Structure 1
Amino acid sequence: MSAAETVPSTRERIVEAADTLFYQRGFEKTSFADIADAVSLSRGNFYYHFRTKDDILAAVIALRSDRTQSMLASWTQDAATPVDRLRCFAEMLVRNRHDIQRYGCPVGTLCAELAKLDHPAQGDAGMIFGQFRDWLRTQFNELGLAQHADALAMHLLARSQGIAALANAFHDEAFIQREVDLITAWLATLVPPAGPAQRPRRKTAS
């Protein structure tokens, strides 16, 4: 890979900066000037890449969606069993605990803000939850729980959002770990029991 391929383009830098600012400050409270300052761009150069803040929002949602898909694909590839993959999902709360305590869940907070604004992009932002839902449902399906797979996926997704919201409200890191431990224990109960060990065959007399 050449050096040019590893250096983010100006457009990519704008989207990365906007992604961070939308998460930390909120979409409505982030201005064009805030994003331009973050990437050290003049207003004219900025407008060359994006004409409106809604254009930037669409790019941020696309970036988050791509990152979500890559993350789910890596869990699928790296974790050996459906339960291991579901643990990866739960442990995401622990890995991101510092940001969650301070800013909440990036998907949940954006969806909530866009819903309050009745913004046309709220459905697009919500599709990231759809990506998680589909992936979780697949894991529960592979556990042999097809009849309840979607309900279980929604339960785990809702539980993770509740943990993120309360961790953000109370700034309680220990709470996140306790709740993830409880989810892990619950997932262990979903593992199908191993079949009875086969008895060795008796040798018959010749």
Structure 2
Amino acid sequence: MVAEGAGTTRAQIVDAANRLFYVKGFEHTSFAAIAETVGISRGNFYHHFKSKDEILGAVIEARLQSTRAMLAEWDRDEPGPAERVRRFVEIVIANGADIQDFGCPVGTLTNELAKLGHPARPQAVAVFDLFRTWLRAQFEELGLAVEADDLAMHVLAFSQGAATLSNAFHDGEFVRREVDRLHAWLDERLAHGRPIAGSAH
């Protein structure tokens, strides 16, 4: 059950749905499972959300808000753009246990909604758009404006590939090695100003 201090009932429902959509998938998460997790009746549940699609919209918006807050924190706490990019790269290690068990929360939801042909897929992709825009801004600040979007997509592709293989093989050491390789690639790229390579290897 969600702790009583977790906020309003609506916020608790969104928090519970967010976790269940990640762990079980959107399609396999029922109203009953969310209500049971929060510890409320079905009637109370329907007072806040009339459909699962409505909950999905709230979950995606919550993810967007938390992503914006995280990126703002990195902008504030890190001394420069290179350090900020490294913070992004380290996500797959910081969230390693969940990623090994369930994959990337952004990628798995986007993929599931694509398979379902769900109209909310573009909203889910907006989280990737936030990361892409933010990473592009970091590379622009590093003086790499011409290639900034390619570099941003390269780093995004790394994070998704590492998350997928971490989930497939449950191999944390592999992920650590891949993160180290991407750090080395970033060092080389910044030191020599070389065109972006086809991979971080």
Equivalent residues of 2:6, 2:12 under 8 A apart = no
Query: Residue 84 of structure 2 corresponds to which residue in structure 1?
Result: 85
Is the aligned partner of 1:139 residue 2:138?
yes
**1:50-99 CA deviation, whole Å, 9 max, x = no partner?**
00000000000000000000011111111111110000000111100000
Q: Return the offset for 1:191.
A: 2.9
Residue aligning to 1:188 = 187
Q: Give the partner amino acid of 2:25.
A: G
Counterparts of residues 7-86 of structure 1 (less than 5 Å): 8-86=7-85
In structure 2, the residue matched to 1:201 is: none
Structure 2 Cα separation of the partners of residues 171 and 127 of structure 1: 28
Q: Which residue of 2 aligns with 1:204?
A: none
1:95 paired residue number? 94
In 2, distance between residues paired with 1:162 and 1:7?
33
TM-score normalised over the length of structure 2: 0.92
Q: Give the % identical residues.
A: 56
Specify the SS of the correspondent of 2:99. helix
One-letter amino acid matched to 1:77: R
Q: TM-score, normalised on structure 1? A: 0.89
Contact kept, 8 Å, 1:140 with 1:152, in 2: the verdict is: yes
Amino acid at match of 1:95: A
C-alpha contact (below 8 Å) 1:143/1:192 kept by paired residues: no
Q: CA shift at 1:186, angstroms?
A: 1.1
User: Which protein is richer in helix relative to its size?
Assistant: 2
What is the distance in 1 between the residues matched to 2:6 and 2:149?
41
Deviations 1:97-119 (A, max 9, x none): 00000000000000000000000
- The offset of 1:190, in angstroms, is 3.0
Quote how far apart the aligned CAs of 1:189 are: 1.8
Structure 2: runs of 5+ lacking an equivalent: 193-201
| C-alpha separation in 2, matches of 1:49 and 1:70 | 25
In structure 2, distance between residues paired with 1:77 and 1:12: 27
Question: What is the RMSD computed on CA atoms of the aligned residues?
Answer: 1.3
* Bigger Rg, structure 1 or 2: 1
Distance in 2 (CA, whole Å) between partners of 1:114 and 1:180 is 28
The range that moved more, 183-192 or 135-144, is 183-192
**Which amino acid in the other structure matches residue 118 of structure 1?**
G
Aligned residues: 189
Q: What is aligned with 1:198?
A: none
Alignment of 1:168-187 (within 5 A): 168-187=167-186
Q: 1:203 is matched with which residue?
A: none
C-alpha distance in structure 1 between counterparts of 2:175 and 2:42, whole Å: 41
Higher relative contact order (CA 8 A, sep 6+): 1
Question: How far does residue 159 in structure 1 lie from its aligned partner after superposition?
Answer: 1.1
8 Å CA contact 1:143–1:190 kept in 2: the answer is no
- SS of the residue corresponding to residue 189 of structure 1 reads helix
- Displacement of 1:149: 0.2
What's the counterpart of residue 197 of structure 2? none
Equivalent-residue separation in structure 2 for 1:158 and 1:147 (angstroms): 19
Return the offset for 1:7: 5.0
